[in-house]
Amino acid sequence: MNYEVFAIACEDYEFNDNYNKLKKLLLDNNLLSFVKKDMLIAIKVNLVSASKPEKAVVTHPILVKALCKILIEMGAKVIVGDSPGGLYNESSLNNSYRKTNMNMILETNAKLNDDFSYQTINLKDGLIVKQLDGCNYLLKADAIINFAKMKTHGMMALSSCVKNMFGSVPGACKLQYHYKYPNHQDFANMLIDIQEYYKCKLHIVDAIVSMEGNGPTMGNPRKVGLILAGQNPYNIDLVCARLMNLDIVQVPTIQEAIKRKLSANSFAELSLNMNIDDYIVKDFLKIEHANNVQFYSNDSNIFKKLLGKMAKAVLTTKPQVNKKQCIGCQKCFQICPAKAITMKKNKPSINRKICIRCFCCQEFCPVGAMKTHQTFVAKIITKSKKSKN
Ligand code: SF4
Ligand code: SF4
Question: Does residue 292 fall inside a structural domain?
Answer: no
More confident residue, 302 or 264: 264
Residue ending a domain, choose from 222, 246, 279: 279
Using 50, 70 and 90 to split pLDDT, how confident is the model at 314? low
Counting ligands in written order, which one lies closest to the CA of residue 369? Answer: 2
Atom of ligand 1 nearest to the CA of 155: 3
379 HSE (CA, 13 A, CB side):
8
- Is 92 found in the same domain as 57? yes
Query: pTM above 0.75?
Result: yes
Instruction: Locate the DSSP E strands across the chain.
Output: 4-9, 40-44, 77-81, 111-112, 118-122, 131-135, 143-153, 157-159, 202-212, 220-230, 271-272, 318-321, 341-344, 347-350, 370-373
Structurally, the chain folds into a number of domains equal to: 2
- Is 269 found in the same domain as 306? no
Is the CB of 340 within 6 Å of ligand 1? yes
Residue 150 in 3-state DSSP?
Answer: strand
pLDDT at 211: 97
pLDDT above 90: residue 58 = yes
Atom 4 (ligand 1) nearest CA: 355
205 by Cβ neighbours in 10 Å (0-12 / 13-18 / 19+) ranks as buried
Question: Does residue 93 fall inside a structural domain?
Answer: yes
- Is 356 found in the same domain as 232? no
- Is 246 found in the same domain as 168? yes
- Is 338 found in the same domain as 241? no
User: What tens digit of pLDDT does each residue of 318-338 get?
Assistant: 899 999 999 999 999 999 999
- Is 159 found in the same domain as 248? yes
Is the CB of 330 within 6 Å of ligand 2? yes
Atom 4 (ligand 2) nearest CA: 329
Using 50, 70 and 90 to split pLDDT, how confident is the model at 169? very high
pLDDT above 60: residue 298 = no
Using 50, 70 and 90 to split pLDDT, how confident is the model at 30? very high
User: What tens digit of pLDDT does each residue of 335-375 get?
Assistant: 999 999 999 999 999 999 999 888 999 989 999 999 888 77
Question: Does residue 46 fall inside a structural domain?
Answer: yes
If you average pLDDT over residues 277-291, what whole number do you get? 84
pLDDT above 50: residue 7 = yes
- Is 365 found in the same domain as 251? no
Atom of ligand 1 nearest to the CA of 318: 3
Within 10 Å of residue 196's Cβ, how many Cβ atoms? 18
pLDDT above 90: residue 164 = yes
Question: Does residue 287 fall inside a structural domain?
Answer: no
Question: Does residue 297 fall inside a structural domain?
Answer: no
User: What tens digit of pLDDT does each residue of 203-230 get?
Assistant: 999 999 999 999 999 999 999 999 999 9
Residue 157 in 3-state DSSP?
Answer: strand
Containing domain of residue 73, as a range? 4-279
Atom 5 (ligand 1) nearest CA: 355
pLDDT at 84: 87
User: Residue 63 is part of a domain; what is its CATH number?
Assistant: 3.40.50.11440
pLDDT at 113: 98
Is the CB of 319 within 6 Å of ligand 2? no
Residue ending a domain, choose from 247, 279, 311: 279
Question: Does residue 296 fall inside a structural domain?
Answer: no
- Is 265 found in the same domain as 171? yes
pLDDT at 373: 83
- Is 318 found in the same domain as 265? no
Residue ending a domain, choose from 279, 311, 340: 279
- Is 362 found in the same domain as 219? no
Question: Does residue 92 fall inside a structural domain?
Answer: yes
Counting ligands in written order, which one lies closest to the CA of residue 353? Answer: 1
Question: Does residue 337 fall inside a structural domain?
Answer: yes
pLDDT at 291: 45
- Is 338 found in the same domain as 263? no
Is the CB of 331 within 6 Å of ligand 2? yes
Contacts of 346 (CB under 8 A, 6+ apart): 328
pLDDT above 50: residue 302 = yes
- Is 351 found in the same domain as 263? no
Give residue 74's region: left, alpha or beta (phi > 0; psi -120 to 50): alpha
Residue 235 in 3-state DSSP?
Answer: helix
Rounded to whole angstroms, how far apart are CA atoms 64 and 60?
6
Cα angle, residue 152 at apex, residues 166 and 267 outer, rounded to 5°: 90
Rounded to whole angstroms, how far apart are CA atoms 191 and 129?
9
pLDDT at 379: 63
What is the rounded average pLDDT for all residues in the chain?
91
pLDDT above 70: residue 296 = no
Cβ atoms 57, 51 nearer than 8 A: yes
User: What tens digit of pLDDT does each residue of 84-119 get?
Assistant: 877 899 999 999 999 999 999 999 999 999 999 999
User: Residue 326 is part of a domain; what is its CATH number?
Assistant: 3.30.70.20
In the reported structure, the alpha carbon of residue 245 is separated from the centroid of ligand 2 by a whole-number distance in angstroms of 30
